[in-house]
Amino acid sequence: MNKEIRKAILIIFVIFFIFTCLVLISEFINYRQILNTYPQNPHLAVPDTVSVAMPTQAAFDFQRSKVTTWLIRLFLGFVVPAFFIFSKLSASIRNWARRKAKRWTLIIMLYFILYSVIEILIYLPLDFYTGFVRMHQYGLSNQTFVQWLIETVKSFFVNTVILAVIIWIPFLIIKKSPKRWWLYLALVSIPYMFCISYLQPIVIDPMFNQYKEIEDGELSLKIDELLSKTYIENCQVLQVDKSKDTNQMNAYMTGVFNTKRIVLWDTTINYLNVDEILGIVAHEMGHYLMGHIWKSIFLGGLGGILILYLVYRICNWFLEKSKGKYGFYRLSDVAAFPLIILAINLMLFITAPISNAYSRSIELEADRFELELTQNNFATATATVKLHQQSLAMLEPGYIYMLWTYDHPTYKSRVDFANQYRPWEEGKPLKYQKYMKENEQAK
């Protein structure tokens, strides 16, 4: 191994070790602070104001487990592609693919399929623990082992087939433009993300769950009334049968143009009251009305330019230093795939606090819109408490873990915001009034 490559690997491992220590120290400090700050039992401090209670012991244990497995998965994100490179397994898979196929595109597809099979087998013990064992241990899953296995295999099959069909495109771009591929690939990612956003609700999601109209007629009418108070158009609100898999609650906005829809997990409908559900629907409406899906696609493409440029520089440095020792000389060689993945994972790790900060900001915007539309602070706060308590979420995680993993504001900050944000009570203008029909908002 080249001396400079060995030095770079050592630096990365030292940084990761220091980062791990800082995460664990931050979590310990946060744990002590929570114990010394919050009451044992939830209560209403004053009418219409909701306070939060100290998490249960199960929530503390669940948080420790999540942090530990996140660090392990983060570590594997570097080690697994490095294993493919330095063991020359990647070059061996490419050679196997070349023996099985003559066409360049088929070689890349076969390589990717075998690479993906090996990778999922490496991750399988961790996935089994986090996705099945731990979820049952904390009472968050309703899946049998067979159901979990079927969902895992189905997800792997769908994702692998989709990517195998298009994986040759990035390599073609790299081959045709070895010095500008990072720019072209980032630009191509914008229409790709749009296509995925358009097709996800109508093609991919129905493969895994059953979507249908809201079964509760009274709730459906109230949702329609809420939609009519804004300028949102042709937006379906559906429920999905997640109770067969989980006891947790969720809702999300998905799709673009005529595939846009708001989806409520049936657990959300079952566990929350009508006002709380309407608040959640209003939150998802805010995402669409403020164009958060479009903004995320566009900004993702722009951010991709910087990330892929740095990936380009890292990969070229490695190729220059390794001089083909690991079975590939060019980035357009499919055997260089794990090198690209390694560099991307490194850049995603570095930029995670920035992307998460942006995500938290748009979630706060949606929370603000929810409150301005419903003007029901109590329902928003109680729904937030129920959603997070049901999922054993921490009031506040350690700061570093929050920066790297939280794409939503923390549980405590969302409850505080729901309690405090009331501009209409002071006669102040609403920030998102332009999205609402004036006559419907008159008080």
Beta bridge partners of 236: 261
Q: Are strands 261-265 and 236-240 parallel, antiparallel or unpaired?
A: parallel
Q: Quick one: which of 293, 80, 311, 99 has its CA closest to 196?
A: 293
Among residues 27, 284, 333, 372, which one is catalytic?
284
Counting Cα atoms < 13 Å in the Cβ hemisphere of 404 gives 19
Q: Which amino acid is at 217?
A: G
Q: Please give the Cα distance from 260 to 198 (Å, whole number).
A: 8
Known binding site: residues? 283, 287, 363
CB 286, CB 370: distance < 8 Å: yes
Report which of 386, 418, 349, 96 is spatially closest to residue 265, judged by C-alpha positions: 386
* Catalytic residue status for 333: no
What is the DSSP code string of 370-388? HHHHH--HHHHHHHHHHHH
Please say whether the beta carbons of 268 and 284 come within 8 A.
Answer: no
CA-to-CA separations, 243 to 160, 283, 386, 388, 414, in angstroms, rounded:
27, 22, 16, 17, 25
Catalytic residue list contains 367: yes
Bridge partners of 141, per DSSP, are 246
Nearest Cα neighbor of 406 from 359, 348, 344, 351 is 359
**Cα separation, 186 vs 305, whole angstroms:** 5
Helix, strand, or coil here: 251? strand
Q: C-alpha distances in angstroms, 325 versus 193, 214, 321?
A: 36, 59, 9
Instruction: Please enumerate, as own/partner, the contacts of 375-379 that have beta carbons within 8 Å and a separation of 24 or more.
Output: 375/424, 376/275, 376/278, 376/279, 377/48, 377/418, 377/419, 377/421, 377/422, 378/48, 378/49, 378/50, 379/273, 379/275, 379/276, 379/278, 379/279
Nearest-CA neighbor of 171 among 359, 379, 331? Answer: 331
**What gap in Å lies between CA 285 and CA 293, rounded to an integer?**
12
Catalytic member of 27, 276, 333, 367: 367
Residues making up the binding site for Zn(2+): 283, 287, 363
List, by residue number, the catalytic residues: 284, 367
